[in-house]
């Protein structure tokens, strides 16, 4: 079992002097192996900065991030992404010039972790398990719906057997029906493959419904305002959205989230949570 993530006193400041921007300040929280953690907060609060630091795309100014005890980020350490932490991006990042199968097998083939026949067999199996996507293996991403593209991206990430799955508002642009379908799909994939998930969102309902733990962040500089343990049973089903437990959880988090949204608005932030 692996995938335990630890953030201790993580800060990030861009630039220096008067032009500097403090994106994160003293962020600390722990994620257990196989846990599903959602990070919520107003736009511009540093959620994506945090995710980029975990993924190895950006440095941190202070503090450290470890994965299973191995230091991923700390001052003076060059950012280094790796297949143990794969990101599903907000606007999608399938390679448009590659077929679905080539996108999905890209990681294991690049790392020479699997032979081509083995990678293709694994890819087709995972695609099949993702709502019959194996039939689209020869298609290009542009020929798929946005929901299908997201599912392919999740499969591409899982193909690398990552310790950590990082999702950066992957369902943001979707309509309600597609989003609900994608939630069930993601929960199903989490149940099957037991990966630690860090899910960034600005949607409190989504966060509570999906996660074991919800981390509420403050407006910039982003810091951890509240950590909420979600005690809803698994498997999660849409009926839970109307349960008393769910309403209680939402009430306890809503106050923090709305307070930060108001602060962000007052600070002239462009978007609100």
Partner 1 sequence: MKRLNWRGAVSIAAFILMWTLLARLKAPGFAEIPDPAAVGRAFWDKYLPSAAYWRSWVVSFERVGYGFLASQLLGIPLGLLLGTRRVFHDVVYPVVELLRPIPPLAWVPLSILFWPTAELSIVFITFIGPFFIIVINVHDAVRGTRKEHLWLARSLGASPAYIFRRIILPSVIPAVAVGMTLGIAVAWNVVIAAEMIASDSGLGRLTWEGYVSHTGTTVLIGMISIGLAGYLSTLLVTYAEKRMMPWQR
DSSP state letter for 30: E
* Shortest spacing between CB 98 and partner 1, in angstroms: 8
Classify strands 196-201 and 36-40 as parallel, antiparallel or unpaired: parallel
**C-beta of residue 8 within 8 angstroms of C-beta of residue 31:** no
- The full DSSP string for 103-149 is HHHHHHHHTT-S-HHHHHHHHHHHHHHTTSGGGGTTS-GGGS-HHHH
- Letters for 134-163 (x = contact with partner 1 by CB under 8 A, - = none) are ------xxx-----------------x---
Q: Per CB under 8 A, which of residues 9..68 are in contact with partner 1?
A: 55-57
Q: Which is nearer to partner 1, 91 or 267 (CB)?
A: 91
Q: Which is nearer to partner 1, 86 or 217 (CB)?
A: 86
Q: Which is nearer to partner 1, 28 or 111 (CB)?
A: 111
**C-beta of residue 180 within 8 angstroms of C-beta of residue 188:** no
**C-beta of residue 214 within 8 angstroms of C-beta of residue 40:** yes
Q: Which is nearer to partner 1, 55 or 214 (CB)?
A: 55
Q: Per CB under 8 A, which of residues 63..122 are in contact with partner 1?
A: 81-83, 85-87, 89, 91-93, 95-98, 106-107, 110-111
N residues, the chain: 273
**Interface with partner 1 by CB under 8 A: which residues?**
55-57, 81-83, 85-87, 89, 91-93, 95-98, 106-107, 110-111, 140-142, 160
């Amino acid at each position: 079992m692996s995938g335990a993530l630890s953030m201790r006193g993580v800060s990030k400041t861009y630039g220096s002097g008067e032009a500097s921007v403090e994106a994160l300040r003293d962020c600390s929280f722990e994620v257990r192996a196989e846990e599903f953690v959602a990070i919520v907060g107003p736009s511009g609060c540093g959620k994506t900065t945090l995710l980029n630091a975990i993924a190895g795309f950006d440095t941190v100014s202070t503090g450290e991030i470890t994965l299973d005890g191995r230091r991923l980020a700390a001052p003076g350490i060059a950012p280094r992404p790796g297949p143990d932490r794969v990101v599903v991006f907000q606007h999608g990042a399938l390679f448009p010039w590659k077929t679905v199968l080539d996108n999905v097998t890209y990681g294991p083939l690049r790392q020479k972790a699997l032979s081509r026949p083995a990678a293709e067999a694994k890819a087709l199996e995972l695609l099949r398990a993702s709502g019959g996507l194996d039939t689209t293996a020869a298609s290009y991403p542009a020929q798929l719906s946005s929901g299908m593209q997201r599912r392919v991206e999740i499969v591409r990430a899982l193909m690398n057997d990552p310790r950590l799955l990082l999702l950066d508002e992957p369902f943001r642009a979707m309509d309600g029906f597609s989003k609900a379908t994608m939630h069930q799909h993601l929960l199903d994939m989490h149940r099957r493959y037991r990966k630690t998930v860090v899910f960034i969102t600005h949607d409190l309902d989504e966060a509570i419904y999906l996660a074991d733990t919800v981390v509420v962040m403050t407006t910039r500089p982003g810091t951890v305002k509240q950590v909420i343990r979600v005690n809803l049973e698994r498997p999660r089903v849409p009926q839970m959205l109307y349960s008393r437990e769910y309403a209680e959880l939402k009430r306890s988090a809503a106050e923090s989230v709305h307070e930060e949204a108001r602060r962000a608005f007052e600070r002239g932030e462009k978007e609100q949570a």
